[in-house]
């Protein structure tokens, strides 16, 4: 078990160092994200969140916290994780293709002034990039929680959080903290 302990110590150290470095340089982006969410809430608009795999789970987690609360009081922000409509998603993927499923949902659901939040550790998933394109065409603000170098999605985001790392778990840990911090900031500033 000695090598397992060393692995865990390295992973924890890497995670802590990455978070420290990332948040030292992204405070203004966190504040801007919080401001966007306040505007969406005030205007009665909605947040459409999408990702694949673990990022889909993060999208669902984020939507739940926006509609409910992180710790102290409900946020009451209208939010939807797009992958949670399994009937639509499976029908569309079967009848058309999965690469445009999120884009189609945004085409149908989004209105000008809504906020589209993409979560992707690579930033290169076709379904994420296409959804961002449609969101921009629908006059939505776009925010990306991305990894590595941000991929193709980076250029389609008005506000971006690019975690410059190659490990999917480390990137997702930072994305999770972004989600929690922005909700906590919003909770404090309502």
Q: What is the DSSP string of 94-143?
A: HHS-GGGHHHHHHHHH--TT-EEEEEESSS--HHHHHHHHHHHHTT-EEE
Answer whether residue 96 shows pLDDT above 90.
yes
Q: How confident is the model at residue 110 (pLDDT cuts 50, 70, 90)?
A: very high
**Percent of the chain whose predicted confidence (pLDDT) is above 90:** 90
Residue 2 has pLDDT above 80, yes or no: no
Higher pLDDT, 128 or 5: 128
Position 23 scores a pLDDT of 93
pLDDT of residue 184: 93
Count of domains observed in the chain? 1
**Residue 51's closest CA among 179, 140, 158?**
179
Average of pLDDT values for 140-161?
Answer: 97
Backbone phi and psi for residue 43, each to the nearest 5 degrees, phi listed first: -85, -5
**Res 188 pLDDT > 80:** yes
88 burial via Cβ count (<10 Å: 0-12, 13-18, 19+): middle
The average confidence (pLDDT) of the chain is: 94
Distance of alpha carbon 54 from alpha carbon 26, whole angstroms: 23
pLDDT at 70: 80
The pLDDT value given to residue 115? 98
Is pLDDT above 70 for 136?
Answer: yes
- Domain containing 14 equals 2-189
CATH number at residue 185: 3.40.50.10490
Q: Which residues contact 6 (CB under 8 A, 6 or more apart)?
A: none
Mean pLDDT of 2-19: 88
The structure's pTM equals 0.94
Q: Which residues pair with 142 in a beta bridge?
A: 116
Instruction: Give the pLDDT band of residue 1 (cuts 50, 70, 90).
Output: low
Please give the residue that has the higher pLDDT: either 72 or 94: 94
pLDDT surpassing 90 at residue 160: yes
Report residue 72's pLDDT band, with 50, 70 and 90 as the boundaries: confident
CA distances from 121 to 92, 118, 149 (A): 24, 10, 9
């Amino acid at each position: 078990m000695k090598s397992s302990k060393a692995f865990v110590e390295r992973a924890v150290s890497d995670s802590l160092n990455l978070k420290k470095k990332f948040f030292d340089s992204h405070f203004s982006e966190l504040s801007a994200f919080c401001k966007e969410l306040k505007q969406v809430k005030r205007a009665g608009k909605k947040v459409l969140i999408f990702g694949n795999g673990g990022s889909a789970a993060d999208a669902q987690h984020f939507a739940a916290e926006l509609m409910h609360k992180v710790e102290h009081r409900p946020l009451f922000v209208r939010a939807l994780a797009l992958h949670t409509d399994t009937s639509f998603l499976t029908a569309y993927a079967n009848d058309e293709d999965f690469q445009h499923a999120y884009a189609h949902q945004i085409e149908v659901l989004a209105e000008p002034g809504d906020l589209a939040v993409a979560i992707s550790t690579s930033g290169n998933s076709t379904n994420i990039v296409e959804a961002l394109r449609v969101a921009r065409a629908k006059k939505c603000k776009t925010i990306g929680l991305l990894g590595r170098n941000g991929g193709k999605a980076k250029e389609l985001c008005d506000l971006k959080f690019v975690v410059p790392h190659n490990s999917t778990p480390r990137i997702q840990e930072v994305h999770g903290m972004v989600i929690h911090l922005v909700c906590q900031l919003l909770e404090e500033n309502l």
